[in-house]
A and B are shown apart, each in its own frame.
Chain A
Amino acid sequence: MKVVVNFDLCESNAVCMGIAPEVFEVRDDDFLYVLQEEPAEELRGKVEEAARRCPKQAITVED
């Protein structure tokens, strides 16, 4: 599983961080950082939920 963020769309709403803080972090500079681009399989549920609930639909999960 590979996490891809479209940073042209991302608005740093940080919803993803609330769901999968292991993978997504919005820092004090207001930018989103992807902590693990290829997270372990057990995080798939959280990552997919983060993608679903992203207000900008900026996250895709590639197999």
Chain B
Amino acid sequence: MPPIVVVGASLAGLSAVDAVRSGGHDGDVVVLEAAAALPSDRPPLSKQVLAGTMEPSAAHQPLAGRLDELAVDLRLGLRVDHVDVAGLRLDLSDGSSLSASGLVVATGASPRTLPGPPLAGVHVVRTLDDSLALRRDLDAGPDRVAVIGAGFIGAEVAATCRGLGLEVTLIEAAPAPMVRVLPEAVGAFVADLHRAHGVDVRLGVGVEGLVADGDRVRGVALADGTTVDASVVVVGIGVAPDVAWLEGSGVPVGNGVTCDETCLAAPGVVAAGDVAEWFNPHFGERMRVEQWEHAIEHGAAAGRRLLAGDGPGEPFGSVPWFWSDQYDRKLQLAGRPAATDEVHVLEGSLEEQRFVAAFRRGERCTGVLGVNRPRHVVQARMRLTESLDWAPIEELLS
């Protein structure tokens, strides 16, 4: 029987391998990875690795040490040029072909970049090499670091740079930080947190372009006509799912790979992690989630779905969860609020920077955010996993 082929050796892909092995699959498993080395664990790249408090070699994925035990045929530095879904046949970048008995799409996503020629001093933070390259530029002691985009990565990089004693300007086109994952009122708290730590926060202003001095960046031109002088610029404006290789394959692609509620994209093809949009039956909506723990759970669900073969498979319902460490604050969100959901602070207060906020849409709780409140968030998540009803969450947290 041909192998199960997993494309992408990061969290979701390796978690799928773990699941098919736990599920009793003892046939071959091939994992194809475009990078020349096994991808590192990503959360430390904007924090501990960048700060220099964690050895780069320590930033390994949870399953990195178990590849032998999982009997993975890991093939590094290989891209898939074309897939024929009907025959489950893959053409690889070294000219070879590979047949699969099942395919796991776990290619993740790549950082969006600004238009224009590449300039020295401009960074994204996605891979270990990205993080180390940024660190080298920070070690040179720039007068100011400009961070474009106040999402997770931008906010964490800004906090880490302040921890290194650097001057930082954080630029966000939206009216508040982290608006893709948090309602605006809570985003405003994140802005205040950064200002309290000495960051020059610019909200609601777009970027006109980078200002160069030869082939080196020297600033960021903003849409309001001002320029932020900075010899290091970090671009954190989101990621795009890596789906170009699936063009013409027969795998449906929209906002990433389009999957059903069981993680299935086409017969014999599942997708998981950053690259995959699926129907989350627990929320009754389609979502694509770019979060660490989600990649593990989603990968495992996709692996189980593959083993179910022609059967119906199990729906994958989930309450997504993430954490973000900024300064001495730990933000944790369970759920999937929209920017317009009502914000109810049920415990603590924004002023003391230690609180639990729940998000409400009608009679539904769409999510719970804790700042330095891990117990509350995990208990709320357990409750939300049972039901998204508002009343029990309000009762739990009040």
Contact = CB atoms under 8 A, between A and B. Distances in A.
The majority secondary structure among interface residues of chain A is loop
Contacts, number: 45
B62 interface: yes
B111 interface: no
Interface residues of A, number: 18
Q: Which of A11, A18, A54 has the most CB of B within 10 A?
A: A18
A16 to B, nearest CB: 9
Contacts of B377: 14
A26 B293 contact: no
A55 B332 contact: no
B374 A30 contact: yes
Interface string B65-89: 0000000000000000000000000
A21 B43 CA distance: 25
A42 B378 CA distance: 22
Q: Which of A12, A14, A21, A28 has the most CB of B within 10 A?
A: A14
A53 interface: yes
A62 B332 CA distance: 29
A18 B323 contact: no
B62 A57 contact: yes
A38 B244 CA distance: 49
A22 B297 CA distance: 21
Contacts of A53: 293, 296-297
Interface in B356-398: 372, 374-375, 377-379, 381-382
B292 interface: yes
B321 interface: yes
B374 A12 contact: yes
Interface in A2-48: 11-15, 17-18, 21, 25-28, 30
B42 to A, nearest CB: 11
B382 A52 contact: no
A54 B372 CA distance: 17
Interface of B: 18, 43, 62, 292-293, 296-297, 321, 323, 325, 330, 332, 372, 374-375, 377-379, 381-382
Contact of A13 (B18, B297, B374, B379): B374
A15 to B, nearest CB: 7
B240 to A, nearest CB: 25
10 closest cross-chain pairs (CB), A and B: A14-B374, A14-B378, A18-B378, A26-B375, A17-B378, A26-B374, A12-B374, A13-B323, A57-B62, A18-B381
B323 A30 contact: no
A14 B296 contact: no
Given A14-B377, A15-B378, 12 more contacts: A11-B330, A14-B332, A14-B378, A17-B374, A17-B378, A18-B381, A18-B382, A30-B374, A53-B296, A53-B297, A55-B292, A57-B62
A14 B382 contact: no
A19 B14 CA distance: 21
Contacts of B62: 52, 54, 57
Contacts of A55: 43, 292-293, 323
